[in-house]
Amino acid sequence: MEVPEFMRVMTLESAKQPLVYKTVPVPRPSAQEVLIKIIACGVCRTDLHIVDGELTEPKLPLIPGHEITGIVVKSGSEVRELKEGDTVGVPWLGYTCGKCHYCINGHENLCENAKFTGYTIDGGYAEYAVAHQHYCFPLDPQYANPSGAPLLCAGLIGYRSYGKISGEANRIGLYGFGGAAHILTQVAVAQGKEIYAFTSPGDTAAQRLAKKLGAIWAGDSTHPSPVRLDAAIIFAPVGNLVPKALTDTDKGGAVICGGIHMSDIPGFPYRMLWEERMITSVANLTRRDGEEFLKLAPEIPVHTETKLYKLEQANEALGDLRNGRINGAAVLSIA
């Protein structure tokens, strides 16, 4: 396929500064990489943590974005399973070493030498990106458009968080109802679970969306849960929600923190944790999570609620995400 010499991108030049719109050479794929013409790239809260300097080790300058859908337009000399014209998704996990203790034991999400798309390698706020052949997922054609982008992180992280909950758990609380929660609700409801959606106080748009997607109850996160929950997943980056979710959770229940960054968790009395309640976090993803979830999503089928922006509007999209002005997920529609 015809590939131009230059492409438009949004780059982070230094933390706490707006992204810069510019033109750079289209990258060349190395032997193990494919070059992808980007259809769309989701805007994730993690991007906001990177831009705001809360995640402190980005490559600079950096092209952010780790929820990429696109089409393979060129392959490196050692690429075997992908070919030109294939529709692929590129997630946050961009590379693992395969050799460290974590990789060998099936926990590649914790790899000591991992690289991350849109953080330590360039991502999808661009017209083209390169990605390692073994870290792209084939994508169902129904998601070869902006609606597919949020599956690549919001969908995957929600799914990994959901996997931490015991199969018997039936009443599940979701705290923070954005990209991840609106996808996970569809999966959980299809599997017969009861979803209780806790949103920022007064966010009636998110509460309406939760109910539309099948949540049994939706309300302010300051409100006590109407039932004792079997498990809770916190997607909002708000440490205060940890003791709140523990209070809402029944004996033996788990509270799962689904974000990469959270404000400090305040102290709380031990009796709130007592009776075998658990707190855990979810870090990154494994390729197995991706394969499982991207097979499941079209079967349900998962539909995403998106607010679309042009590439050059990435700063606006980040600002809207920061200020809670997005119902569902923000996506840069690029091609």
Q: What is the binding site for Zn ion (CB under 5 A)?
A: 44, 46, 96-97, 100, 103, 111, 153
DSSP-based three-state secondary structure for 183 = helix
- Closest approach, Cβ 292 to Zn ion, in A, equals 18
CA distance 211 to 22: 41
> Minimum CB separation from Zn ion for residue 307, in Å?
16
**In sequence order, what DSSP letters do the residues of 86-105 get, joined into one string?**
-EEEE-SEEE--S-SHHHHT
Token pair listed for 262: 């959270």
Residues with Cβ within 8 Å of 53's Cβ and at least 6 positions away in sequence, in order, are 15, 16
- Please report how many Cα atoms fall inside a 13 Å half-sphere around the Cα of residue 147, on the Cβ side: 12
**H-helix segments, 28-86:** 45-51
CB of 36 to Zn ion, least distance (A): 18
**Shortest gap between Cβ of 194 and Zn ion (angstroms)?**
26
Rounded to whole angstroms, the Cα distance separating 234 from 231 reads 10
Rounded least distance, CB 112 to Zn ion, Å: 5
Task: Please state the closest distance from residue 182 (CB atom) to Zn ion, in A.
Answer: 14
Residues 6 or more apart whose CB falls under 8 angstroms from that of 319 comprise none
Q: Which amino acid is at 50?
A: I
The answer to whether 331 and 40 have CB atoms below 8 angstroms apart is yes
Q: Pairing mode, if any, of strands 115-116 and 194-199?
A: unpaired
Nearer to Zn ion (CB atom), residue 49 or residue 277: 49
CA torsion angle 105 110 113 114 (round to 10): 120
CA-closest candidate to residue 247, choices 272, 284, 213, 222: 272
Nearer to Zn ion, 229 or 297 (CB): 297
Nearer to Zn ion, 66 or 74 (CB): 66
Closest CB 224 distance from Zn ion, rounded Å: 30
Q: Which is nearer to Zn ion, 73 or 149 (CB)?
A: 149
